């Protein structure tokens, strides 16, 4: 079994995606609330709940195969304040990277590092933050590359995320792990531009990591909806009517079209401010909008169920949100709605991690495993 450290662990969704092929040696998150969820699902023996800057290399046991870090996105997000890696929250990356450098100095550098963040990490501060990350990874003897993977290829949620992967330069790479040129499926134009801005060691260390596209049948939103949710209640008729009145004509027509279909249609709604007016915007394409943490101007996602003339609405339930992140129904969620929604909105999509592990991380690890020696056979008597 291969080993890993999980930083900015949240509720352990990266761990859920890595599955039984990987053993977690150490996990860390600054949030006591998230730590409680992690402990409830994975135990607390190897969990340290504290600021990453307070974690010391001596606390990390052994020599892990990989370090995973889903570091905070707020200062890198397109909707953020633009502080980037100089911000208080996203700047926590440097606390993580100091640990990687300390492990390297002790001869315990992980063979791989994986960083997960929002698409804005490619472009924040005109691409300077991505350059700094790539330079930091390359400076410690890693090859470096990135992929933009949208959860929509695995689950009915639109959730593009950036995965930056560093691999020790001494390791052999399977031919399937990378391509000579960017693959449009994982390397959009913004990433090509980010790559072109790199110089020196980071440019030389760059690899176009690649994985096959997901080929399993896709679920639609209606398959994940709870018939009798426990964490939320249905809106009153008046509340649903007010929601429709908040819609611009385009979105009201979407509701009318859903009614005209006469089949059961499930849509999702976000409230957004347009030209100073709060609007309710609905989609009925079988895909949920990106789950976001309830704060910083983001609203919680609303479900609208239309069946002919009948229209009902309510907040998305915490279990439905968990299903949109690929978590099994036995995963234990916080009892308080906002705590559960925040935990999930900050998380990484489980099947995406699973796909990345199966098609990139594990093939690299397995190719570089020592060849087991055959047992010495006893010599036959003359």
Residues 235, 180, single domain; the answer is no
Q: Which two tokens stand for residue 6?
A: 């999980």
Residue 163's pLDDT is 98
Q: Which two tokens stand for residue 16?
A: 């859920």
Cα dihedral 190, 193, 197, 200 in deg (nearest 10) = 100
* Separation of alpha carbons 133 and 307, rounded Å: 49
Task: Please say whether the beta carbons of 266 and 311 come within 8 A.
Answer: no
Residue 364's pLDDT is 98
Residues 192, 105, single domain; the answer is yes
**Within a domain: 24:** yes
* Separation of alpha carbons 271 and 193, rounded Å: 33
Residues 285, 326, single domain; the answer is yes
Residues 209, 229, single domain; the answer is no
> In the 3-class helix/strand/coil scheme, how is 94-153 assigned residue by residue?
HHHHHHHHHHHHCCCCCCEEEEEEEHHHHCHHHHHHHHHHHHHHHHCCEEEEEEEEEHHH
Q: Which domain, by its residues, includes 47?
A: 2-213+349-367
* Separation of alpha carbons 102 and 257, rounded Å: 59
**Within a domain: 26:** yes
Q: How many CB atoms lie within 10 A of CB 256?
A: 10
Residue 79's pLDDT is 59
Residues 302, 253, single domain; the answer is yes
The CB-side HSE value for 213 (13 A sphere, CA atoms) comes to: 11
Residues 140, 180, single domain; the answer is yes
Which three-class secondary structure state does DSSP give residue 29? strand
Residues 113, 97, single domain; the answer is yes
Mean pLDDT per block of 10 residues along the chain (382 residues) reads: 96 98 97 98 97 96 96 69 73 92 97 95 89 96 98 96 97 97 96 96 97 90 93 96 96 96 94 92 95 68 95 97 98 96 95 98 95 47 38
Q: Which two tokens stand for residue 59?
A: 């606390």
**Within a domain: 374:** no
Residues 191, 262, single domain; the answer is no
Instruction: Pick the closest to residue 186 from 167, 220, 214 (CA basis).
Output: 214
Residue 71's pLDDT is 86
Residues 101, 159, single domain; the answer is yes
Residue 75's pLDDT is 62
**CB under 8 Å to 189, separation ≥6 — which residues?**
none
**Within a domain: 378:** no
**Within a domain: 372:** no
**Within a domain: 157:** yes
**Within a domain: 373:** no
**Within a domain: 74:** yes
Residues 135, 240, single domain; the answer is no
Residues 187, 238, single domain; the answer is no
Number of folded domains that form the chain: 2
Residue 218's pLDDT is 86
φ, ψ of residue 91 to 5 degrees: the values are: -65, -10
CATH of residue 94's domain is: 3.40.50.150
Helix residue ranges per DSSP H, the chain: 13-18, 32-42, 93-105, 128-139, 189-197, 200-205, 237-245, 249-260, 318-324, 337-345, 350-356, 362-367
Residues 83, 231, single domain; the answer is no
């Amino acid at each position: 079994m291969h080993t890993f450290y999980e930083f900015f662990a949240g509720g352990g969704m990266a761990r859920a995606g890595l599955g039984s092929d990987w053993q977690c040696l150490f996990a860390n998150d600054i949030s006591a609330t998230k730590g409680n969820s992690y402990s409830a699902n994975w135990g607390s023996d190897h969990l340290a709940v504290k600021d990453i800057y307070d974690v010391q290399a001596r606390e990390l046991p052994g020599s892990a195969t990989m370090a995973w870090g889903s570091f905070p996105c707020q200062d890198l997000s397109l909707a953020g304040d633009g502080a980037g890696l100089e911000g208080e929250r996203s700047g926590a990356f440097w606390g993580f990277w100091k640990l990687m450098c300390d492990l390297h100095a002790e001869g315990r550098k992980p063979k791989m590092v994986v960083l997960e963040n929002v698409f804005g990490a490619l472009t924040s501060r005109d691409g300077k933050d991505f350059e700094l990350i790539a330079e930091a990874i390359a400076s410690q003897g890693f090859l470096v590359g990135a992929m933009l993977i949208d959860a929509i290829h695995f689950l009915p949620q639109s959730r593009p995320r950036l995965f930056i992967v560093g691999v020790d330069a001494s390791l052999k790479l399977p031919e399937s792990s990378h391509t000579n040129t960017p693959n449009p499926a994982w390397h959009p134009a913004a990433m090509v531009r980010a790559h072109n801005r790199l110089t020196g060691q980071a440019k030389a260390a760059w690899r176009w990591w690649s994985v096959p596209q997901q080929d399993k049948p896709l679920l639609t939103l209606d398959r994940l909806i709870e018939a009798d949710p426990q964490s939320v209640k249905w809106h009153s008729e008046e509340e649903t009517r007010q929601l429709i009145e908040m819609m611009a004509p385009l979105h009201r027509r979407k509701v009318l079209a859903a009614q005209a279909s006469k089949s059961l249609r499930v849509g999702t709604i976000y409230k957004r401010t347009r030209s100073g007016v709060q609007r309710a915007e609905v989609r009925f394409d079988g895909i949920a909008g990106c789950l976001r943490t309830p704060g910083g101007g983001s609203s919680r996602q609303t479900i609208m169920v239309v069946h002919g003339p009948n229209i009902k609405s309510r907040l998305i339930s915490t279990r439905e949100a968990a299903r949109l992140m690929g978590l099994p129904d036995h995963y234990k969620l916080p009892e308080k709605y906002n705590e559960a929604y925040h935990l999930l909105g900050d998380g990484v999509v489980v099947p995406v991690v699973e796909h990345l592990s199966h098609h990139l991380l594990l093939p690299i690890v397995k190719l570089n495993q020592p060849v087991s020696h055959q047992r010495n056979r006893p010599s036959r008597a003359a």
